[in-house]
Amino acid sequence: MKVTIKGQVTIPQNIREKLGITHLTEVDFIEDKGRIYLVKKKDAKISGHRFRNLRGIAQVKMTTDEIMALTRGEK
């Protein structure tokens, strides 16, 4: 396995499946006696984008034109 110019490697699919690692899973690298271990964070919450948890919450009954007028200060 090669490291990319950005320092990235691909975790093999069988390892991802075995550990339950998906695209939003947080992992740590642990160094111990000259070896590096990749470990899945146990208490990590899926944070991703800071607004991800708010997705789908707004229930605005306004048209795009009404919202744009509101943000522009138009009446």
Instruction: Give me the residue spans of the domains in the chain.
Output: 13-72
What is the residue-level pLDDT of the chain in tens, covering all 75 positions? 899 999 999 999 999 999 888 888 889 999 999 999 998 887 655 555 666 666 776 677 888 888 888 888 876
Please state the pTM of the whole predicted model.
0.49
> Which residues touch 10 (CB under 8 Å, ≥6 apart)?
1
The pair of three-digit structure tokens given for residue 17, joined into one six-digit string: 């499946």
- The DSSP secondary structure of 16-50, one letter per residue, reads HHHHT--TT--EEEEEETTEEEEEE-SS-----ST
Rounded to whole angstroms, the Cα distance separating 55 from 17 reads: 27
pLDDT at 41: 85
Q: Using CA atoms, how far apart are residues 32 and 23, in angstroms rounded to an integer? A: 26
